[in-house]
Every structure is written in C-alpha cells, then in structure tokens.
Amino acid sequence: MDSQRPSVDNARYEALREMLERAVARSCPAWLVSRREDIVQAALMRINSRTRDGVDLDSMGSGYIFRVAYTALVDEIRHQRRRRMDQTDAAEGPVKSERPDPEKDVLSREIGRAIKACLEALAQTRHAAVSLYLHGSNVPQISTRTGWSRKQAENAVYRGLADMRRCLSDKGVQP
C-alpha cells in the first residue's frame, strides 16, 4: 500500500494540493466547476509521477506547479469539447459524403479492432475502469459504480490507459 501514497510527506502534500486547488479554481471556467476535483487529481498525479522519477518537489517551484495545474485544466477542457462534439455528431446522425472513402473505412475498422484487442488484453479491474472511462464516466463515478475507493478507481483508470497506449503503440496505432 505504501507505493500508492504520495512520495512527499503529508504536510507538503496538503500544501501542494491546496496550491493546485487555488490554481485550478482561479482558471477554471464556470461550466467546468463540477470537474475541478478531477483536474486537481490529474495535476497531482503528474507531479507525483515526477517526484517518483527522483525530481525533488522543492526544485519544481511554484511556477511549474501552476503550469501543471493549467495544463491539466486545458486537457480537461479539450476532453469536454471533444465529448460535446461527439455527442452533437451522434445526435445529428452520420454525415454522408458524396463519395465514400474506402481507405478511411478500412483504417477505422483496423483501429477499432486494435482498440478492442488492447482493451480485452487489460487486467479485469483495468478493463472495467477503462471501459467506463471511455464511455464518459469520471473517476468519482467509476468509484461509485464499482464500489472501489477513489484511489483504486483512479489507479485502475490511469494505469489501464497507460497500458492501452503501450498496446496500441505496439500495434502501430498512434494518436
């Protein structure tokens, strides 16, 4: 269990968390308020990853910490916009071009098969977490639906996504 604890002591961890919460709250648009906690968690995971790689938290500086919070916020905004666009496209139905593109169809099917194969190759908990995540659930929702703690759900999602990226990369599928 110690491997899941932050690599900084509790007082420094709480101070870091408060700094990230302030940074996210300062920049977060009103329509994204409900996702603030997830954004802070994503930023914490990025910083924690750096500390595990041997980078000292004190050497990061407050500027770096604010940049991490900002990039986590930007990533979430992009994710939400993509979701909205996907939902809008789905509501309008498929857009038919004058000429079908068989090359795109084949490529799409190959990518779909690769994603499905990589998803099936995941460990059971990661498979469940990533499936829920890909269907639009966030970490707190996944935690509630599965009965896992938030930390367990968070670890399953992010480790599962990392496994998916590696698997897809091995299959030659790049984002």
| pLDDT tens digits, one per residue of 18-48 | 999 999 988 888 888 889 999 999 999 888 8
pLDDT of residue 1: 43
Report, as an integer, the average pLDDT of 89-116: 73
Q: What is the CATH number of domain 7-92?
A: 1.10.1740
pLDDT, mean of residues 45-73: 82
φ/ψ bin of 151: left (φ > 0), alpha (ψ from -120 to 50), beta (otherwise): alpha
Segments of the chain assigned to CATH 1.10.10.10: 102-170
Is residue 4's pLDDT more than 60? no
Give how far Cα 136 sits from Cα of 8, 28, 92, 122, 133, Å. 31, 20, 19, 19, 5
Q: How many residues does the chain have?
A: 175
Residue 94 gets which letter from DSSP? P
Higher pLDDT, 35 or 7: 35
| pTM score, whole prediction | 0.45
Overall fold of domain 102-170: Arc Repressor Mutant, subunit A (1.10.10)
- Domain(s) labelled CATH 1.10.1740 in the chain stretch across 7-92
d(CA 128, CA 156): 8
Q: Is the pLDDT of residue 13 over 90?
A: no
